[in-house]
Structure 1
């Protein structure tokens, strides 16, 4: 009889309900598990052949269902192996933003330093609503905000807050504008004055982000409170067009805000900020600048002049998860006057931010935000700039800008592609020209839409699309779009993308022929 002793499997810590990430042992286990997850993900990525899985939506749904035979909430857990299997499936089938052929959206690949630091923020799970919920996190966000306000040209009386995204930043900015206007109206009524305008409205470019209209709906103003101003040939809202729209308003309409855009989603165009600020303020309206996309130009010595005049804005939005390459989400709302920030959110409650704690210096950021629990997103941002510096991040944007200029040059020289607008930031809008010069606009639109879907199905390339409001009706409205936010992409990658568009376009046309 042998003396062999059966091997007892090591216990799986993931099955232990009391294993906590921030324990000394727990954080070591987090590091081990992250290493295993990323190792499995790396193996899956090496088998990828493009930025998307070559599957239809229905086929992908079947893959996910197979991964979750008991659904996402099984009665009993499968431990480490179940998690590793999920990581393999996820990495095999998710969008790969680091692939240079991923160029559809304002969705960059995240920096490694930011991603790694974000794991630490998740492990400690601090919140910045109260000082004692996240003391270092509160201090980091406060200092980050001060640095960003200074970079924007604001004075020492400015302030700001990190938010979950540009939509949330714009919402809070327009909440401030609404409440500022309503407070002024109450003061007017208290003074016994009558005949004042009572219907709040705001003005923005016809190319402004849809979050402006959504914010008006949420705030009870209604989407009809938005007055879209026509854009010029350079896709900008001019002061002349804004002035004309303001002068044409009805007598009962109160202009509470003008929303300028610094980096439109489709074109990257930047509205003339100094002129719009002067026009808005002359009519008693606040100027909010939606620089969710273009705000990254603040980090670039070369592109910073695009934002000249931004210091005149009463508030501005910057998405650091766009042009600072942060894991989503990391947006920031900045205000020129600190008092504005707490106009609508400065509530104090005894169990979170009592007055005496605040007076003693133990104050969190609850009064700055629409949220209560709010994670330590400043940690990853500060880590990024400590590692790379402002100029390092700015050079990444400059590299992407150079790629956009190159793409525009190659499109202009291509016989089957047509450039729609010169790049301002990193976006290139163009169209595929069907054989014969697209005499039928409906067919041209159908071909451009179908070729993009063909590339999606093949998983070879991920490009965007939009409708060109100012387009020639004879050529259709559907346009293709490259949003170039991968600083490691090369000119060869851009050429490969454009070749893929041409090949897909020709294939779609061939399939359509009798």
Structure 2
């Protein structure tokens, strides 16, 4: 005898999908947006003041825990934090998972206020430390739609339109790269690391049997994920052979060819060459045509990590930097950099869809052969992931909304900002520019006025950045150029097209103020 399911008590929380989902979301989105506005006002800058201790204490206060309260007081002024939200207080339990919940609106208001207050907000022009873009409002709105409907792209019957959209978007971006229409393939990924992993996986599996260790060659300026991926693929991180970069911070093709010969002379094999189009620090784009020529000479897979530089393809001004990209076997792009998408929005492309064959999988409950023969296609064999969010939707909305010209204008605007910042740095006696910007990043350092050695200069540059973070005044990146004393550098990664000259003036003034203050501190 069939029985009805038991009544839910208390009533179940509302769902986001279906016809009624919009009504449930409408009020909650209103609560969330009001809380985000409140939290951002309370923050009053690019990130909260008070440093790690202040942030941890505020999280503990809102959750009703005590761990943060025992942390030592941070140096300097502490953050005020957002005003307590109305509602039950204190929380029903000292835990993010209380026995009795506080309710949807209260929890959303409390934690959204906290989240916005405690964000490093890339929409603030003084938040310029990383390849961390302020997302476009239209992309965020589209992301909400994808979240509400929650498709998964591992089978057609979970994502009918999302799957078809991904095929179209991948084809459009493959065309932008220069791959032949109708031949290329690809998939939306979580970002550059996953794209690099996929490129190296396909290179490894396409190499075939043979004697000798499989090696991967890349520039010394390549992203650290190349080594990480080699380890994950069972090749070992030490399978990566780094090739020297020239004075322009790009891989030297002559040195690359020499390294290939040494690998073969040692009875090892070349699994892949990885070129970088947009290095993380300086945005350098390696000489792709010359590197492709070396890859052809040694008959090896060429993967191009264009996670940063791929956005240059939208710009008539900067697209020529990527000449030769179409000669790669595989390419990784990140549209959560110079594409202004909410994280994550990576794209992995191959010049021939048949190259994806090593990823092919058959699961009776996802992509039975007779379904696929009937036209119910599956994207399961395009990715190492199974459940996969419809990140393609926000990308599709943005590409259609702005077009190549609109996105290119945003790229050019950020490039202009980088050139303006470089001019300011070059003209100031206390600042030293490393190189003219290629894309949108500017690497430099503060030069103390009093004579100091390079170790002290490194200390001051590192400390001035932390001072700015602790005071909540600015997010400036840090890196190292070269090794040994004198290597520490500061970095501006300018991805906010709404920033202006006055914003950069103020940002560099803050760097100078912090540099002067740290110069007076004992070493």
Instruction: Report deviation, 1:251.
Output: 2.8
Of residues 316, 321, 324 in structure 1, which corresponds to 2:331?
A: 316
Of residues 434, 459, 462 in structure 1, which corresponds to 2:448?
A: 434
Q: Equivalent residues in 2 for 1:264-275 (5 A)?
A: 264-275=279-290
Matched, 1:101 2:126: yes
Deviations 1:279-309 (A, max 9, x none): 0121121110000000001111111001000
Instruction: Report deviation, 1:229.
Output: 0.5
Of residues 43, 47, 59 in structure 1, which corresponds to 2:42?
A: 47
Q: Aligned partners of 2:13 and 2:120: how far apart in 1? A: 34
Tell me the residue number matched to 1:502: 512
**Aligned residue pair count:** 484
Of residues 249, 252, 264 in structure 2, which corresponds to 1:235?
A: 249
Q: Aligned partners of 2:9 and 2:126: how far apart in 1? A: 37
Tell me the residue number matched to 1:465: 478
Q: Equivalent residues in 2 for 1:111-510 (5 A)?
A: 111-155=136-180, 156-181=182-207, 183=208, 185=209, 197-249=211-263, 250-343=265-358, 345-438=359-452, 440-469=453-482, 476-510=486-520
Q: Aligned partners of 1:338 and 1:348: how far apart in 2? A: 17
Deviations 1:313-338 (A, max 9, x none): 00000001111000000101000111
Matched, 1:89 2:89: no
Q: 1:286 to 1:54 in 2, by over 3 A?
A: same
Structure 1's consecutive aligned runs of 4 or more residues displaced over 4 angstroms after TM superposition are none
TM-score normalized by the length of structure 1: 0.92
Deviations 1:35-64 (A, max 9, x none): 221112112213333111001212211111
Preserved contact between residue 15 and residue 77 of structure 1 (Cα < 8 Å): no
Deviations 1:236-267 (A, max 9, x none): 00211101111222432100100000000011
Preserved contact between residue 197 and residue 251 of structure 1 (Cα < 8 Å): no
Preserved contact between residue 31 and residue 108 of structure 2 (Cα < 8 Å): no
Of residues 44, 58, 66 in structure 1, which corresponds to 2:61?
A: 66
Q: Aligned partners of 2:9 and 2:299: how far apart in 1? A: 59
Q: 1:268 to 1:67 in 2, by over 3 A?
A: same
Instruction: Report deviation, 1:197.
Output: 4.1
Q: How well do the aligned residues superpose, as a CA RMSD in angstroms? A: 1.5
Preserved contact between residue 65 and residue 71 of structure 1 (Cα < 8 Å): no
TM-score normalized by the length of structure 2: 0.90
Preserved contact between residue 418 and residue 442 of structure 2 (Cα < 8 Å): yes
Instruction: Report deviation, 1:17.
Output: 2.0
List runs of 5+ in structure 2 lacking aligned partners: 1-7, 65-93
Greater CA deviation, 40-49 or 412-421?
40-49
Greater CA deviation, 138-147 or 390-399?
390-399
List runs of 5+ in structure 1 lacking aligned partners: 1-12, 186-195
Q: Aligned partners of 1:287 and 1:367: how far apart in 2? A: 21
Instruction: Report deviation, 1:342.
Output: 2.5
Instruction: Report deviation, 1:18.
Output: 4.8
Preserved contact between residue 15 and residue 24 of structure 2 (Cα < 8 Å): no
Q: Secondary structure at the match of 2:247?
A: coil
Preserved contact between residue 105 and residue 464 of structure 1 (Cα < 8 Å): yes
Q: Secondary structure at the match of 2:242?
A: strand
Of residues 76, 85, 95 in structure 1, which corresponds to 2:100?
A: 76
Tell me the residue number matched to 1:25: 20
Tell me the residue number matched to 1:8: none
Preserved contact between residue 47 and residue 472 of structure 2 (Cα < 8 Å): yes
Q: Aligned partners of 1:378 and 1:284: how far apart in 2? A: 33
